[in-house]
A = this chain, B = another copy of it.
Amino acid sequence: MNNNLQIYNTLSRTKEKFEPIVPPHVGMYVCGPTVYGDAHLGHARPAITFDVVFRYLMHIGYKVRYVRNITDVGHLENDADEGEDKIVKKARLESLEPMEVVKLFTDRYHKNMDQLNVLHPSIEPTASGHIIEQIELIKSILNNGYAYEADGSVYFDVEKYNKDYQYGKLSGRKTEDLLENTRILAGQDEKKNSYDFALWKKTDPKHIMQWPSPWSDGYPGWHLECSAMGAKYLGEKFDIHGGGMDLLFPHHESEIAQSNASRGHDPVKYWMHNNMITIGGQKMGKSLNNFITLDEFFSGNQELLTRAYSPMTIRFFILQAHYRSTLDFSNEALQAAEKGMHKLFNTIEIIDKLVPTEKSTIDVRQFESRLYEAMNDDFNTPITIAYLFDLSRLINQVNDGKEKLTKEDISFVKELFAVFIFKVLGLKNESGKNSDLLIDQLMNTILVIRNDAKLNKDWATADRIREDLSKLKINIKDTKDGSEWSFE
């Protein structure tokens, strides 16, 4: 096990040595999508960021249980956690049962994640599937005196909580400031203070998504699901909680509060947050209506895009920035990422063709420790990629005859590239390893054999090959420059 991993903990605002609670096990929880629309670039970033965390932790020897949830209920319309449920609203617009919307967009999200080569999490629980666990959590918060009931709804009592704990410890926000910044919204007159947040909301009888509870027929507040499901599958205190920086407040702040209020301690050792993707400096998101869906990137079919970009280009573009930096979208930046990625994949092909020598003139072994140091430094993928580019340049020099490598060093470099590019960064070669290329290559092999047979006047073999290919609906056409092939 590699013991030098440092993780930036949002809670302490410093990089800390990573020491899991029960090694070699690591419990990681990441906030997944609210499934009421197609996934866009803003969904790709946390998915890819924590996919690399998941991959790297496994690579250095940890046994990781990775939980990423599906929010299929209870995510309300605006940040203040009031208004109409997003999924119910979409369902009414399209005359669908809410769970039909959930199924449709969950399936599409999964397809996009597969395209981006994001590994499946170990468990993918849904909010609607854990209402009992959320009700139990509300009960214990009420029992401990940190919540109150008002007309069938239950609210978290931030003022009461603040006497014993600190609401704002993660985000650095102060409750005085929150009071001033909170808008007046329907239903909040039930609350003691505007910053109190809903644990349970009573609904009118016509509302589709509702469940019975000790307080009313209704549904749980959004912040509850992660507290309930994280504890259920990873224990009451687990190692890593990840998510986008936009979830830091109020969502993750409230998760900490709910855990302290129910169990008397924080839920998570390391809080990790990926920064936002901007477009012209502005946050990209559904509510701002300036988002580009992943399907649009893959097809190029969107006015902001000059052309299509492959899933791996999106992945590489995201990994070329550190996850805690903002990342600004532009066609130029994506095209530069694509070019860089192709350079790395070209290098992998070049490695196979290098001619080994007796002695190496350059030191490639030093790159192993550099690459691990980069990843150990809070998963610094841009530095990791920069080292891979350095190594790529050296290999091209070897290929040009300017430098030399032994057979052992060539194998070493090949393995290093494979580990970091495929296994850790999770890239795959879209152009090189695909089936169409291999079919081309196999057809070339067959045509060369046939050509040799013809040169040797072995007409029987040449004809047999033509007939065999004909059964596969492949036609061969002999020209003066050689043979061409095509599908029937």
Which B residues touch A463, using CB under 8 A? Answer: none
Number of copies of chain A assembled together: 2
How far is the CB of A439 from the nearest CB of chain B, in Å? 6
Q: Known: A439-B439, A449-B449. Contact between A124 and B103, CB under 8 A?
A: yes
Q: Contacting A449 at CB < 8 Å: which of B132, B212, B465?
A: B465
A97 at the interface (CB under 8 A from B): yes
Per-residue CB proximity of A192-220 to B under 8 Å, as 1/0?
00000000000000000001100000000
State whether B97 touches A65 (Cβ < 8 A): yes
- Residues of chain A whose beta carbon lies under 8 Å from any beta carbon of chain B: 65, 97, 99-100, 102-103, 107, 110, 120-126, 128-132, 136, 211-212, 233, 352, 431-432, 435-436, 438-439, 441-443, 445-446, 448-449, 452, 461, 464-465, 468-469, 471-473, 487
Which B residues touch A123, using CB under 8 A? Answer: 97, 99-100, 102-103
CA of A473 to CA of B132, assembled, Å? 53
State whether A99 touches B435 (Cβ < 8 A): no
State whether B136 touches A122 (Cβ < 8 A): no
Q: A126 — nearest CB in chain B belongs to which residue?
A: B129
Which B residues touch A100, using CB under 8 A? Answer: 65, 122-123
Which B residues touch A121, using CB under 8 A? Answer: 103
Which B residues touch A129, using CB under 8 A? Answer: 126, 128-130
State whether A107 touches B120 (Cβ < 8 A): yes
Which B residues touch A97, using CB under 8 A? Answer: 65, 122-123, 233
How far is the CB of A454 from the nearest CB of chain B, in Å? 13
Which B residues touch A131, using CB under 8 A? Answer: 132
Q: Contacting A435 at CB < 8 Å: which of B126, B128, B436, B446?
A: B436
State whether A435 touches B439 (Cβ < 8 A): yes
CA of A129 to CA of B211, assembled, Å? 12
